[in-house]
Structures are given as structure tokens and as C-alpha cells.
Homo-oligomer: A and B are copies of this chain.
Amino acid sequence: MTGTAERAPVIRVGDKDNVAIAVAPGGLPAGTRLDDGTVLTENVPFGHKVALGDIEAGQPIVRYGEVIGTAAGPIRCGGWIRESAVRLPEPPALSELPLATRPAPATEPLEGYTFEGYRNADGTVGTKNVLAIATSVQCVAGVADHVAGRIRRELLPRYPNVDDVVALNHTYGCGVAINAPAAVVPIRTLQNLVRNPNFGGEVMVIGLGCEKLLPQTLMPAEAEGGSLLSLQDPAFTGFGAMVDGIMETAERHLERLNGRRRQTCPAADLVVGVQCGGSDAFSGVTANPAVGFAADLIVRAGGSVMFSEVTEVRDAIHLLTPRAADAEVGRALLREMAWYDDYLQLGGADRSANPSPGNKTGGLSNVVEKALGSIVKSGTSPIVDVLAPGERIRRRGLTFAATPASDFICGTLQLASGMTLQVFTTGRGTPYGLAMAPVIKVATNSVLATRWHDLMDLDAGRIATGEASIADVGWELFHLILDVASGRKQAAADKLGLHNALVLFNPAPVT
């Protein structure tokens, strides 16, 4: 799907669309005449939809060429389509979807693009060189934070090639139903987090000693010279001894990490995760299509792209199953959708609670409209694989990594899956950032990009104003990805040191 940017002040994406989006900052006043002759009968806020013809009660409301709902009552031509005017349709039935029916688009391989990365023994390539202090249980989080702070202040200055030290704190490990069926998700996530390419294969685990999640289960089989310390080890007399012991161990890892150097790697070694948060009606016509364009470039270069957020692709799943590379991948997509349907239903979740109030204020009527705008981040490549939450990436190309849409859980799961750089689009604005991998934030509209000039990395709002095409911004993003992955440019969140905590997905009970 590509947005054909018409002249401001409205954007209409698909030929069959009977709505358009008001893109003038401040919205459009009643009486505005659009290019197609439609005259606005009332004020339409920025980012909201205007009817391009009369829509009778029960008739479909079409955006992106897809039905986003039906009219709850008659909507007159030129009227503002409020959230309450749109009836939410049922999600596509999972039993009747075409699998792997769409031929892969004919594309040329993209050659000659490189970045400066840290190559690991297992062939993966990091974009940063970070000492990660893994923890097997939340009980040790206070100590891990304390030690990470001391390492940053006292040791890092002596190891200039090491970018950072991060404690992989979380809220799992004990006080949880460790044998419940769904416990596989958080455990797998923690096991794969330590293997993220940005940590250079140096594994250091701090446990308590009496936790349910045994610390040694976090030590990868392939880890050479990994270290494991438990605070309850009788060797540690008092807090001071614990800290000294951890610092000494950290120093061994820092020495090895410090010996590493960036080297020129093909763009094929990129593992980029894409995500959106705080979306608005522009997300689907500016930033997300540009991200999709860049995703296609990465795939053409032989690299890996992950897209995610089950609850935000669920209502557009009928557009994804045809893109599965084969029927098995298609069935895996359905499996993840069905798992989430059950999970939400068990918890009595109300599907209408997504979009958020802010999404709605931003002009997104419902989760169907949000989903249609969300999946364009995946570009047009075939989907070569599907990961259950927290599984490690297995194939190059475009992978669907199943995660909740929660920004922090999605980020954590993508890190576990091996993502080394994330692209994050936002329309309402969020100061999101991760310490473990750079996050490039793309604003969907220029109002946000201007106001949050130091929090956003790229302004895709220029697509709405006609200043740039989707391809322009897509290429710009692709080059920015290569620059940030090489350490040549810093993402806004990293410049400011704004980082969010990891959040595990634990669908099992706590005890």
C-alpha cells in the first residue's frame, strides 16, 4: 500500500475510499471546499476523517481501500466522521483466510550498502558494544542497578570501546507460576535476551540463590567464559563483598568487550525491529508507509526486519496471510492470532479498548483503522517466518515476531528475538527509548516533529504536506538506520539518555 499524497489540506489513500483525512494544522473549518468539490459541513479536526459522499446507515466506511466499519447512522457528504459514527466490524474469521496466495513482488537485490558493526563469533552483528548484566530474579534488581552505576562511573572510563553497561532487570524469576503452561514465554524471553547481538556474547548473570528461575538456565550453551554469581553465595560476606565480586567479574567481561572494533558489514547483517506507539490518523499515510519502504530496502539488501503487535495486525490479518512465504508460515500467523484471541477472551478484554483515547483524539476511529495503518510498516515483502513471543529470529527477510502492542513489551520481545536497532513511529508523541539497542523515532506529522524537535529523529509529516514522497523519506530512513547502526549518528533518546525499562510478557499467573 502506498499513499498517493494529494494536495493538502486532505489525504485520500485508496481509490475506493469514501473518506479523506484533514491534514491542515488546526484542522479544517466548515465551508472548506476540497479538490473533488466536497464542501465541509462542519469543522473537522486535524487528522480526522471527512466523508467524501453521503454514507447511509449500515453502509461501509472505506479507508486504505478496506472497510474500517459501517455507518452507525447517516453521514452527509462533507461531514466529520466521529468515532461514534463508526460501527466496529467483526475481525476476520481465522478459518477462511487465503494462505501464501500472493506471489512475491519482483524486486531487484539491493547491493553495496554497508554499516560499521560489531561482528560476533556466532555470525550475528551488533550495533552497539554493551556489557549486559542479566538477572535471574527481580530480588537482585537493586543490587544490579547499584553495580551498573558503579561500573559506569568507575570502570567504563578505562574501557573506551565499550559503549555502556546495562542491568537487564525485570519482574520475573520468583513469586510466579513457573510451571504454568504460559511461563514458557517469559522464560524464553529472558534466555534469549542475554543472547542479543549487542551484548557481544559476554554473558554475566546475577542470581539470588533461592529463586524459582534457576540462574544457570539463563546461560546460553554457546556462551564461552560466561559468569554466574549468586548473592546468597556464602563467599560473599556482606554487601560490600558482593559488589566487589560483581565488579571483578564485570572487569573480565569489559576487557574482552573492549578489544572489539567496529568493522564494515553488509546491510544484510542488520536486524531491524519496527513498531509504532501513540499513533494518529497520519501514521498510516506518512511514517508507517515510509518505514515499510525502508523495510523493503533492508529485505532487498538481504537483511532482517521484524514487525509485531498482534492486537494491531489482528484486524488486518486477511491482508497478511496471502503474503506468507508458504502455507506453513501462514498457519503460524493464524496460530499466533488464535492464541491472542483466546488470551484476551480469557481475561474478558474488550476489543474496543484499543485504540487508546489519544489514538482516537488523533483521528483513529477504531482498531481496524489502526491495524490497516499499522501493517504498512511491514512493507511489501513476503513474510518468511513467524516467531512466538520471545523466540530468536531464524531467517533473513521479513519476519512476524508475535508480541503484544504495548511498546515496552514489544521492545523487550524484539530484543529477545535478536533485534539490534528499532524504528518507532509516533503521531501523538512518546519519549520512548531503549538502552540495549538504538531506537530511531519517526514523527508521523510535522506538528509533532517541530514541537518535539529534540525527541524525534525524522519527520515523516513532510509526506502529508507534499514536501517529500514516501520513497524520499523511506530512503532517508534507510540511510539513517545505517548511520545509527554504525555509531556515526546517535538517536535522540540516546543523546538525552532517555531509556525505558524492560517489560516482560508474562501471560501466566503470579503467585
Contacts and interface: CB of A to CB of B under 8 A. Distances in A.
A349 B180 CA distance: 5
B210 A431 contact: no
User: Which of A171, A349, A453, A510 has the most chain B CB atoms inside 10 A of its CB?
Assistant: A510
Contact of A210 (B358, B432, B503): B358
Contacts of A428: 208-210, 232
A239 B208 contact: no
A202 interface: no
A98 interface: no
Given A143-B498, A180-B350, A356-B210, A404 B511 contact: yes
Contacts of A181: 348
A429 B178 CA distance: 21
Contacts of A357: 210-212, 214
Contacts of A138: 407-408, 500-501, 503
A236 B454 CA distance: 12
Interface residues of A, number: 82
A240 interface: yes
The complex is assembled from copies of this chain, and their number is 2
A231 B347 contact: no
B347 A182 contact: yes
A179 B349 contact: yes
Given A406-B174, A509-B343, A509-B347, A238 B354 contact: no
Contacts of A497: 146
Interface in A346-373: 346-350, 352-354, 356-359, 361-362
User: Which of A174, A208, A210 has the most chain B CB atoms inside 10 A of its CB?
Assistant: A210
Interface in A386-432: 404-409, 428-432
A511 B239 contact: no
A3 interface: no
A39 interface: no
Contact of A409 (B175, B406, B508): B175
23 contacts: A139-B407, A139-B431, A139-B500, A141-B501, A175-B408, A175-B409, A177-B344, A177-B353, A180-B349, A208-B278, A208-B429, A210-B278, A210-B359, A212-B356, A236-B451, A237-B451, A238-B453, A239-B498, A343-B509, A344-B511, A348-B508, A349-B511, A507-B509
